[in-house]
Amino acid sequence: MTGLYLDAAATSAVRREVLEAMWPYLTGDFGNPSSHHAVGESAARALAAARATVAEWLGCRASEIVFTSGGTEADNLAIKGIALGAPRGRHIVTTPIEHEAVLASVDYLVRVHGFEATYVPVGRDGLVSPDDVAAALRPDTTLASVMLANNEVGTVQPIAELAALAHAQGVPFHTDAVQAAGWLPLDVRELGVDALSVSGHKIGAPKGIGALFVRGRLPLEPVLHGGGQERGRRSGTENVAGAVALATAARLAMRDREANAARSTAARDAFTAAVLAQTPGAELTGHAAARLPGTASFVFPGTNGETVLLELERRGIVSSSGSACAAGSEDASHVLLALGYDEDVARTAVRFSWGPDVSEDALVAVAPAVAEAVGEVRGLAS
């Protein structure tokens, strides 16, 4: 594409190293890992190696990794699988700012299986309070799920603290780390979580591959039934090339994450300051400091976010109103409403998100175009 792509939270391009690593498993080494011949055994070895690498990335055992078709499936398997696999209890604790993959899975359990859900509120900065999480836990709580980083405003939650509170009540804890991947440490021992979801296409692997870490002895009811692959936790012929791709992207993340995060955090702060200085009335959403290095979201009161996006695109800048996963929906963002924004202000949101290859200079150079686009839309409105 021409212009500047600032919608990396929606998806990213497949990285060359990733494509090269997966290519053999789409062509010559195309075997089914369950087949008992050399072609199958070669695929099985590649799958095992990929699983070991993803486990190294997440700080767990290879047997604790379940490959899935992406973040949505990992979230579905975590929420439904842990809740339905639990020996007792019918209560789930989560937040109103989770991705739809979590929210809709919880809603399914409520509608179809008679669960109850408590949605712990968040502040204007998008943070949940540990006290509120502690207060929401009940003797019959089967699962708590709080995302590591929010996909719209980028706020990063104190997951280790929240997981410890859940464990003090004997409650397993899941975190959706889809947006955090590539930016934040994902060591499940340090986070203290029992389940964690990641998705390949946010870190330079293709769409359609993801993984769920699920702690060894935690009972997990499968969502997909069939041939019993993935130790019975996720049936379906394994996406070997996808697993190799995810592992390659994970290896790159292990190598480059710290340097990328430091560089992008500086770029993010310079960009945020430039936008706030140059666009009257702009407000940064989410937490000012506890947020992802690659995300800055704003509201521009007096505009319409979708029209600002079009004006930005005319200037060669591709961004998003927030959740691409809910594309087509005209509703104001459920995240911004939960943060306490009025519906008409929530509709003025624009999210800029980028990968580690976008420089500070390139980002800061976008700020005047943002001011222009917002001014243009305000002019139209008045």
Which residues of this chain interact with ligand PLP, rule CB under 6 A? 70-72, 75, 99, 101, 147, 151, 176, 178-179, 199, 201, 210, 325
Rg of the Cα atoms in the chain: 21
Toward ligand PLP, which CB reaches closer, 199 or 279? 199
Residue 60: active-site member: no
Question: What's the closest the beta carbon of residue 378 comes to ligand PLP, in angstroms?
Answer: 30
Nearest to residue 234, comparing CAs of 80, 106, 113, 91?
80
Toward ligand PLP, which CB reaches closer, 42 or 105? 105
Q: Which residue is nearest to ligand PLP (CB)?
A: 71
Residues ≥6 apart with Cβ < 8 Å to 277 = 367
Beta bridge partners of 94: 119
Beta-strand runs (E) in 200-340: 210-214, 283-284, 295-299, 317-318
Toward ligand PLP, which CB reaches closer, 31 or 154? 154
Beta bridge partners of 43: none
Strand 141-145: give its sheet, edge to edge: 65-68, 210-214, 195-199, 173-176, 141-145, 91-94, 116-119
Question: What's the closest the beta carbon of residue 179 comes to ligand PLP, in angstroms?
Answer: 5
Toward ligand PLP, which CB reaches closer, 210 or 305? 210
Q: Contact 142/83 with Cβ under 8 angstroms?
A: yes
Distance separating alpha carbons of residues 13 and 335, to the nearest angstrom: 26
Question: What's the closest the beta carbon of residue 156 comes to ligand PLP, in angstroms?
Answer: 12
Question: What's the closest the beta carbon of residue 330 comes to ligand PLP, in angstroms?
Answer: 19
* H helical segments located in 279-346: 305-314, 334-338, 343-346
Question: What's the closest the beta carbon of residue 325 comes to ligand PLP, in angstroms?
Answer: 5
Distance separating alpha carbons of residues 122 and 190, to the nearest angstrom: 23
Toward ligand PLP, which CB reaches closer, 272 or 320? 320
Q: How far is CA 156 from CA 73, 160, 185, 291, 334, in A?
A: 22, 11, 12, 5, 17
Toward ligand PLP, which CB reaches closer, 100 or 132? 100
Beta bridge partners of 91: 116, 141
Q: For the chain, percent helix, then strand, then coil, each to nearest 5? A: 45, 15, 40
Tokens at 274, concatenated: 């430039």
Toward ligand PLP, which CB reaches closer, 31 or 71? 71
Question: What's the closest the beta carbon of residue 26 comes to ligand PLP, in angstroms?
Answer: 19
Considering the candidates 13, 19, 104, 325, report the single residue annotated as catalytic: 325
Question: What's the closest the beta carbon of residue 280 comes to ligand PLP, in angstroms?
Answer: 31
Nearest to residue 327, comparing CAs of 22, 5, 7, 30?
7
Q: Contact 244/208 with Cβ under 8 angstroms?
A: no
Q: Quick one: CA dihedral 122, 124, 127, 131, positive or negative?
A: negative
Distance separating alpha carbons of residues 38 and 44, to the nearest angstrom: 10
Distance separating alpha carbons of residues 286 and 97, to the nearest angstrom: 11
- Active-site residue set: 325
